[in-house]
Structure formats: C-alpha cells, structure tokens
Chains A and B, each alone.
Chain A
Amino acid sequence: MSRQQPLEGPGADGDEAIAAAGAGRAEVLTGRPIRVVVAKPGLDGHDRGAKVVARALRDAGMEVIYTGLHQTPEQIVRTAVQEDADAVGLSVLSGAHLGLFRRVLELLVEAGAGDVVVFGGGIIPPDDVATLEALGVGALFTPGASTREIVAWVRQHAALRHG
C-alpha cells in the first residue's frame, strides 16, 4: 500500500525532467495516506469530539496525528510542519475560536505551509462561520455533522493538495 512505484522501471532516471515538469509534487504525495493533524486548541478540556473525528479519519485510511488538549496555534503549526500534514482539523468549543483559527492560518502561511487545508468543528455562531471561511478555513462542521461528511470533505480537499 505504501509502495507507489517499482524500484526499477521507466522514468527511473528522469529526475530533472520530472522536477522540471512540476510533477514532483504528485510523485511525492499522490497515493500516500492522507496525513491529518487533529488538535484541540484553547483552554476548555473536552476532546471527545476531536477523538471521534480522529478515529473516523483513521478508519477511512488516513494517518491521524493527534496532539491532545490545550494546544497553542504555534504548537499546532509546528506539528503540521514536522508531520508534513495535508490537513489540520481544529476542534473548538471556547469563545476564542476566531482568534485561534486566524492565528493558525497566519502561522501556516508564515511557515510556508499555506497549502495545508484547515477545517474545524465545534459550536460556532453562524456569523463567525462566514468570517472564518473568508479567512481561509476550508470547512466548519457543527456538532450535528456526520463523521462521514467530514471524512469525505477531508479526502476531497487533501487530495487536491496531493495534486
């Protein structure tokens, strides 16, 4: 499942050509399991929802890096970078979500990882949903959203990143 290409075969020596054609991205990322960081920023102490989502993504064949509670945006972005994540999912219940999302998005861009897809879940007032989507959050799932919906969204959008 992890071996995408035979060790020998056509194209084995065409590195420069492949890189020049911009196909490197697909070569490196296509076909590998989607990697998702699931984080729970902020001070509130509930991560049940985040864990349910993490398990659903795992069961859909993704590699889920779970970071635990009380993560700062700085920690979340560092994790996304070190783990070469395709997507970051933030679970928020506290009122500070706007600032948290904004900061994560800013830091991702600063870290040169602006192509990482960000999504979120939790209790988010409808007004804020529009603001967050304008900021660049890919999708926001309310507590009523099914895990199947979330899995489908992550699969579709992380796959775009895979080129």
Chain B
Amino acid sequence: MPIPPLPFDPASLVEAARAGDERALARLVSVAEGGGEPAARLARLVPFQPPASWQVIGLPGSPGAGKSSLAAALIGVYRAEGRRVAVLAVDPSSPYSGGALLGDRVRMQAHGLDDSVFIRSIASRGHLGGLSPALPDVLALVAACGYSTALVETLGAGQAEVEIARHADITAVVLAPGFGDAVQLSKAGILEIADVLVVNKADLEGAEALRRALEQALDTAAGAGDTAAGAGGPSRRLVRPTRPPVLRTCARTGEGVPGLVDALEHQLAALAASGELARRRRAAVVARIEAVWRELVSARFEDPTARARLDDLAAGVLAGDLDPYSAARQMSGS
C-alpha cells in the first residue's frame, strides 16, 4: 500500500519525524540546510532538548585518513550498546560549480538498512569554514527524533576542524600514516582541538611511528592536564581535563574501535565532571546565535530602502558634505 506523499508544512513534518518517519526527518534536514525563514520557523518548532544520553562526536581528519570507515565501525559499537546513531558526513561543495560529490556512504553501507541508523551527506554549500552552517540545526533535529549519538565526519583542513570542535561535545581527530608527520600536524592546530587522537590504519607501516611522534608532540606542548589554549574567560577555546590519549585503530577490521569508544566515554565523563561539557554546549549555542545574527545583519544590506539611503549618502560623500565613516554610522543607526 503506497504511503501518501510527504506534507510540506513544517509542523506536520516535525510531528511525523518525531514519530519516526525518516522521510520527514530527511526533508527537515533539507529545510535546515536551505536556511532563511523556513529554517528559522523549523528551529522554533524544534527546541534543543537532547536526551540525557546525547553525545556529539566530531571526527575531523584529512581526506582518506579513514573517517568514514571509522564512523562505520563506530556505528557498530554504538548500536551494540543500544544507541540510535545519526551520522552527518560533511564534505565541501565545489567552489566552481556549487555542486558536490558526496561519497562517504560508500563505507557505511553495512549499516544502510538499520532502522536505528540515519546517515546524511551534507555539502558545505560554500560556507567558508568547510562545515555546513546548518549543522547545529540538524543536530537539534536528530536529537529531537530520538538519536542519542551523532557522529559528525568533516574535513580536517584548517578552519573546519576548529569549527567542528566548537559544535561537538568531543572531538576525535583521525590521522593515518602517510598523511603528514607530527610536526606538520601540530602546526595545523590538530593537537589543540583533539580530545582524542586516532591513528587509523594501524595495520599499515608507519602507524606506530606516527603514534610515538604524536605522544612526543603532546609532551612538548603544554603539560598534561593542560588548557588546550588558555583556560577561563569568555574564550571559545577548549579546555581539556586530561591529556588527549593517542589510540590506534584499524577501521577495516574494527580492531581498536571498542577501545576508542571506551576512551571517548572516559573523556566525555571527565568533560562532564569538570563542567567543561556544559561550557562547550553553551559556547556552541553562542556561536550559533552569532552566526544567525550575522545573517540578519547581512540581510539588512540587501534591503532596497537601505540601498537607496546608502546611495543618497554616497552622493553626500561625493559632494564633500560627509565622510564615509559618518555615512556608515548613519547607516548602522538606521
């Protein structure tokens, strides 16, 4: 018996998604991704009220390090624990065409038919940091739909990994032999944002050397139990209660993956106990509000009345009656 087509009004979609209709959830992710007023309306319908067991695990790393394979292996372990798992795999959109080739699912197909696993490929759609600006909204959605673990795979190149660390409860940076040495990695800021360092492809030569180099780099960085980049204050930076452990995994065989899950649980418990988890979640919301605020301000630049006024003020500047600074001040006061 065919199911009727999906409704489009957000309230019915939210109701259906909460009741377990995956099509509705998938459509709502599209709404969040689209931004604008529909996304704002959706956010009003889905306040962020995560279950007590809620956890967002960030998995940044170089392309090819094995993030998707590791996500697949993690799904297996978390499912065995009875958790419902959402995987959000973020990849960059092409700056030329705006299109994207999203291939992360290829590695996760073993879980492709599990009713308790929701996998969604997300293109960054030109967002500078390489992460989708909709990610926080999508996280709120999957939390509302009964998933307790969210795995966020994202490129770890410069800005993106800092951003994911801002939106995740815990960040496990995925590395593999042959993807840069420890010195490069510490320069790239990876050591600063990692709560856990994963040396994947432990079956390959160079894995043990990479692990040792990472431990050494951690030794020379701030002391154990460090503040990753300065504690206290309104800083958005991370405070790590313990030195990040370095773990070896083989995502292909699953070796080391239960150990990784244990380490994540352990670190998460420490973050929760120290109050850092609560602080991170608040900082994530601050970042989200800031981003939307910025959008609201940008939208004012497009307002036709404001454009006309701007044009008038420009004439004043040209006539020597006004300077650009005073003109801008008048604009922002309007």
Binding site for B on A (CB under 8 A): 1-9, 11-12, 15-16, 18-19, 22, 24-25, 27-29, 31-33, 54-55, 57-68, 71, 74-75, 78-79, 81-84, 109-115
Contacts and interface: CB of A to CB of B under 8 A. Distances in A.
Interface stretch (B99-107, B157-165, B172-180, B309-317): B99-107
B20 to A, nearest CB: 13
B125 interface: yes
A126 to B, nearest CB: 30
Given A7-B296, A79-B112, A112-B2, A1 B97 contact: no
B311 to A, nearest CB: 20
B23 interface: yes
A63 B3 contact: no
B218 to A, nearest CB: 36
Contact of B102 (A5, A27, A64, A110): A64
A30 to B, nearest CB: 9
Range for the number of chain B residues in contact with chain A? 35 or more
Nearest to A71: B109
Please list the 4 inter-chain residue pairs (A to B) with the smallest Cβ-Cβ separation, ordered nearest first. Answer: A24-B8, A112-B3, A19-B9, A68-B106
14 contacts: A1-B125, A4-B34, A6-B36, A7-B292, A24-B9, A25-B8, A33-B123, A54-B101, A60-B97, A65-B102, A66-B101, A68-B109, A110-B2, A114-B2
B121 interface: yes
Interface string B100-122: 11110110010011000011110
Given A7-B36, A111-B3, A32 B30 contact: yes
A27 B8 contact: yes
A75 B112 contact: yes
Given A57-B99, A84-B27, A78 B113 contact: yes
Interface in B180-235: none
Given A75-B109, A83-B120, A3 B2 contact: no
A28 B34 contact: yes
Contacts of B98: 1, 33, 61
A84 B36 contact: no
A103 to B, nearest CB: 14
A74 B102 contact: no
Contacts of A112: 2-6, 23
A61 B126 CA distance: 12
Contact of B9 (A1, A2, A15, A110): A15
A1 B94 CA distance: 12
A65 B89 CA distance: 11
A113 B23 CA distance: 8
Interface in B32-60: 33-38, 40-41
Contact of A2 (B22, B27, B105, B125): B125
Contacts of A54: 101
Given A8-B299, A11-B37, A59 B120 contact: no
Given A2-B125, A28-B30, 5 more contacts: A2-B35, A12-B37, A24-B7, A62-B99, A115-B5
A128 B112 CA distance: 29
Contacts of B168: none
Nearest to B115: A78
A20 to B, nearest CB: 8
B100 A63 contact: yes
B14 interface: no
B321 interface: no
A75 B295 CA distance: 38
Interface string B287-301: 000001001100100
B129 to A, nearest CB: 14
Contacts of B257: none
A2 B2 contact: no
Most buried by A among B10, B30, B97, B121: B121
A16 B8 CA distance: 11
